[in-house]
Amino acid sequence: MTKLGVRNLYLMPFQTFAPPEAEVHTFRDVVFPRLSAAGLR
Amino acid sequence: MTEPVRVHLRVPGTTPMPDLMKLIDSIEAAGFDGAGILDSQMISRDTFVVLGQAAARTTRLGLFPAVTNPFTRHASVLASAIQTVEEMAPGRVRFVIGTGYTSASTIGRKPATLAEMRACIAAVKTLLAGQSVDWDGTPGRLGYISGRRIPVLMAASGPKAIEVAGEVADGALLLVGFNRGIVERALEHLERGARRSGRRVDDLEVIWAVRVGTAATTAEARRSARPTAVHWGILRWGGHWLEPAGIRIPKLEIPDAVWKITPISRTLPTGRRRSRPRRSFQTTSSPSCATRSAWSARPSIARTASRR
Predicted ipTM? 0.97
Residues B101 and B234 in one domain: no
Instruction: Answer yes or no: is B136 within a domain.
Output: yes
Residues B125 and B254 in one domain: no
CATH of the domain at B83: 3.20.20.30
Q: How far is CA B299 from CA B102, B175, B204, B216, B282, in A?
A: 15, 29, 42, 34, 11
Residues B12 and B73 in one domain: yes
The answer to whether B108 and B281 have CB atoms below 8 angstroms apart is no
Instruction: Answer yes or no: is B290 within a domain.
Output: no
Is residue B208 predicted with pLDDT exceeding 70? yes
Question: What is the pLDDT at residue B283?
Answer: 28
Q: Which of B11, B170, B212 to probe by mutation at the A interface, max A CB count within 10 Å?
A: B212
User: CA–CA separation, A34 vs B293, rounded Å?
Assistant: 40
Q: Give me chain B's average pLDDT, please.
A: 85
Residues B200 and B241 in one domain: no
Question: What is the pLDDT at residue B248?
Answer: 82
Is residue B269 predicted with pLDDT exceeding 60? no
Residue scoring higher pLDDT (A33 or B260): A33
Residues B133 and B268 in one domain: no
Instruction: Answer yes or no: is B289 within a domain.
Output: no
Is residue B157 predicted with pLDDT exceeding 60? yes
Position B139 confidence tier, pLDDT thresholds 50, 70, 90: very high
Instruction: Answer yes or no: is B291 within a domain.
Output: no
Question: What is the pLDDT at residue B1?
Answer: 57
Q: What is the pLDDT of residues A1-21, one digit of tens each?
A: 888 889 999 999 998 899 999
Residues B196 and B249 in one domain: no
Question: What is the pLDDT at residue B273?
Answer: 44
Question: Nearest Cα to B63, choosing from B37, B27, B40?
Answer: B37
Q: What single DSSP character describes residue B112?
A: P
pTM: 0.84
Instruction: Answer yes or no: is B303 within a domain.
Output: yes
Torsion-angle region of B100 (φ positive above 0: left; ψ -120 to 50: alpha; else: beta): left
Position B288 confidence tier, pLDDT thresholds 50, 70, 90: very low
Instruction: Answer yes or no: is B286 within a domain.
Output: no
Residue scoring higher pLDDT (B236 or B196): B196
Question: Chain A residue closest to B5 (CA)?
Answer: A7
Q: How many domains does chain B have?
A: 2
Residue scoring higher pLDDT (B308 or B25): B25
Residue/partner pairs of B188-195 with CB below 8 Å, 24 or more apart: B189/B159, B189/B162, B189/B163, B190/B162, B190/B163, B190/B165, B190/B166, B191/B166, B192/B163, B192/B166, B193/B162, B193/B163, B193/B164, B193/B165, B193/B166, B193/B167, B193/B168, B194/B166, B194/B167, B195/B166
What are the DSSP calls for B281-295, one per residue? G--SS-GGGTTS-HH
* Nearest residue, CB atoms, A6 vs list B14, B173, B208: B208
Residues B187 and B85 in one domain: yes
Span of B44-58, B121-135, B227-241 with lowest mean pLDDT: B227-241
Is residue B140 predicted with pLDDT exceeding 50? yes
Most confident of B71-85, B173-187, B237-251: B71-85
Q: Of all residues in chain B, what percent carry a pLDDT higher than 90? A: 68
Residues B246 and B184 in one domain: no
* Nearest residue, CB atoms, B228 vs list A5, A14, A23: A14
Q: Please judge whether A17 and B43 are an interchain contact, meaning their C-beta atoms are less than 8 angstroms apart.
A: yes
Residues B10 and B85 in one domain: yes
B22-81 residues touching A, CB cutoff 8 A:
23, 26-27, 29-32, 34, 36, 38, 43-44, 66
Average pLDDT for residues B37-42, to the nearest whole number? 96
Residues B79 and B155 in one domain: yes
Q: Distance, in angstroms, between A33 CA and closest chain B CA?
A: 10
Q: Is A3 on the interface with B (CB under 8 A)?
A: no
Q: Is A24 on the interface with B (CB under 8 A)?
A: yes
Is residue B33 predicted with pLDDT exceeding 90? yes
Residues B25 and B74 in one domain: yes
Q: Is B225 on the interface with A (CB under 8 A)?
A: yes
Three-state DSSP state, B81: helix
Q: Distance, in angstroms, between B227 CA and closest chain A CA?
A: 9
Instruction: Answer yes or no: is B287 within a domain.
Output: no
The answer to whether B221 and B215 have CB atoms below 8 angstroms apart is yes
Question: What is the pLDDT at residue B257?
Answer: 79
Q: Please judge whether A21 and B23 are an interchain contact, meaning their C-beta atoms are less than 8 angstroms apart.
A: yes
Note down the domain range covering B242.
218-281
Average pLDDT for residues B278-293, to the nearest whole number? 30
Residues B148 and B194 in one domain: yes
Instruction: Answer yes or no: is B1 within a domain.
Output: no
Average pLDDT for residues B71-82, to the nearest whole number? 98
Q: Distance, in angstroms, between A35 CA and closest chain B CA?
A: 8
